[in-house]
Amino acid sequence: MSHESIQTLLNANEEWAQSVIKNTPNFFSQSATGQSPKVLWIGCSDSRVPESVITSSKPGDIFVHRNIANQFHLNDDSALSVLIYAVKVVGVEHVVLVGHTYCGGAAACLQAAKDAAADTGAPLIARVQSLDLSACSENEALNKVVETNIIMQVDNICKSEPITTAWADPNVKKVTVHGWMYDLSRGRID
């Protein structure tokens, strides 16, 4: 990114903050008093899937974790700490795991699965190798990988300690886990 691109971001931030204050004078002072988002979004780092923009959300609406190809592994301290904090401290009621079409991470996984020498120790690659994609076009195959990945990561979230604990304890707020697919060529969550 050139310095020009950086300056564009800073200028846009200044304009945005001014327009928010104009419409809602106490927005930022209110924001500084705390957060109580109802949703944790676990999505891909891809620049084309900015959760707040595509859901028309405001600061304070969504708790977020994003990484390449929206992974949630039970041994990933970064993802796990976000989930623990979101459920136990913030008190979110929904966890949404969001995959998307044209995902570079899923494409890399599909490529690795096709490579006979690939290490099948990675659970998603092994799962993709078990799919019959022979009748699929390249794009259909990629969509199947994205879908399979969403199902696997939702499954991991459901097996994680903060979720199983919340489900087992009637005194803890109910948490629902969702798997979503965002079609970035249409701008729609399916």
33-62 positions binding Zn ion, by CB under 5 A: 44, 46
Minimal distance, residue 80 CB to Zn ion, in Å: 20
154 lies in the site for Zn ion, by CB under 5 A: no
Whether the CB-CB separation of 125 and 112 falls below 8 Å is answered with yes
Side chain identity at residue 132, one-letter code: D
Q: Which is nearer to Zn ion, 109 or 175 (by Cβ)? A: 109
80/100 with CB nearer Zn ion: 100
Count of helices and strands (H, E) across the chain: 8, 5
Of the candidates 90, 84, 40, 88, the residue with the CA atom closest to the CA atom of residue 66: 40
Query: Is 103 one of the binding residues for Zn ion (CB under 5 A)?
Result: yes
Half-sphere exposure in the Cβ direction for 52 (13 Å, CA): 10
Give the dihedral sign, CA 73/77/78/79.
positive
* Region from 16-24, 51-59, 99-107, 128-136 binding Zn ion, contact rule CB under 5 A: 99-107
Which of 76, 94, 100, 178 is labelled catalytic? 100
Active site residues: 44, 46, 48, 100, 103
Question: For binding to Zn ion (CB under 5 A), which residues are involved?
Answer: 44, 46, 103, 105
